[in-house]
Amino acid sequence: MQPSQTHAESSFTPRSGWPLVGLFFALLVAMIAIFALAPRDQAGWGALLLLPILLIPVGFFIVNPNIAWNLVLFGRYVGTVRQTGFYWVNSFTLRQRVSLRAHNLNMKTLKVNDLMGNPIEIAAVVVWRVRDTAKAKFDVHDYEGFVSVQSEAALRTLASAHPYDEGHTDTVATSLRGSQNEVSRELTQALQQRLDPAGVEVVEARLSHLAYAPEIASAMLQRQQATAIIAARAKIVDGAVGMVEMALEKLSHKGIVHLDDERKATLAGNLLVVLCSHENPQPVLNTGSLYT
């Protein structure tokens, strides 16, 4: 989206206000002297000084740190003053104040669907500042409102392009929960592209809230717990198999006992039961032979 007529910021250096302060007081003293000392038939000359005395103070303005002023004279953009100081411009010049400081946008929580169609709650924090004051003031109606609306649109688009968690799909490698850095970079780039027409620079954008919607939160929690249990059991089985293999190898290498295939299978089964069980094993003494 581009505005029909774009503007670019240009620098403008107005004249210092201090000489005009001296001129103002000089004219004021002169007018008072004319009214007080001049004859009655010549007092009208003092009225001629009234107009500049009234117009000069209107042109004074101060530029504070990280504040800029856009100057518009009779509908024409003159330029932007960024340098701090005390200045004076034509009294008919319209001055528009623009803050160059960093702003925080704490977005409200949105309810959207992720790539898999699961309803989720998501919110983000955006740090931004004005980069081009002319675009911010003349190319959009309200640049602060523009930032808010476009940030919400970018966040909705981002959420619908990624799954909530990893392993839900093979089409997208990054997920909202497991790829926070990649998602933040993608959100920042998307926001910058949307906010360029307003002359706004995105400093940083990060997710501040991410959760399943309440109606599916319990079901997704059970799914995550099941996934964690399966992963834990797989880890236990891998470790148990390694320990059984090590035990059989050491028994054979040291010649403590001679085991045929059937006895090895029995020993391996008993060790796996002991190692993989969640309860303490109950030993059973076998006084007979394995083959009787």
Query: pLDDT tens digit string along 131-174?
Result: 999 999 999 999 999 999 999 999 999 999 999 887 666 677 78
Query: pLDDT tens digit string along 32-87?
Result: 877 777 666 665 666 778 888 999 999 999 999 999 999 999 999 999 999 999 99
Instruction: Give the C-alpha separation, 190 to 178, whole Å.
Output: 20
Query: pLDDT tens digit string along 106-123?
Result: 999 999 999 888 899 999
E-strand ranges in the chain read: 15-16, 60-63, 67-73, 76-81, 85-88, 93-99, 103-106, 110-113, 119-130, 200-212
Query: pLDDT tens digit string along 230-263?
Result: 666 777 777 767 777 777 777 676 666 666 666 6
CB 89 within 8 A of CB 61: yes
pLDDT of 34? 77
CB 125 within 8 A of CB 205: yes
Instruction: Give the C-alpha separation, 122 to 187, whole Å.
Output: 13
- Report the predicted TM-score, pTM, of the whole model to 2 decimal places: 0.72
Average pLDDT for the chain: 83
DSSP class of 109: P
CB 105 within 8 A of CB 178: no
pLDDT of 165? 83
Confidence of residue 217 (pLDDT cuts 50, 70, 90): low
- Closest to 57 measured CA to CA, from 93, 81, 21: 21
Instruction: Give the C-alpha separation, 53 to 23, whole Å.
Output: 9
Positive or negative, the CA dihedral 88, 91, 94, 97 is: positive
Torsions phi, psi for 38 (to 5 deg): -75, 155
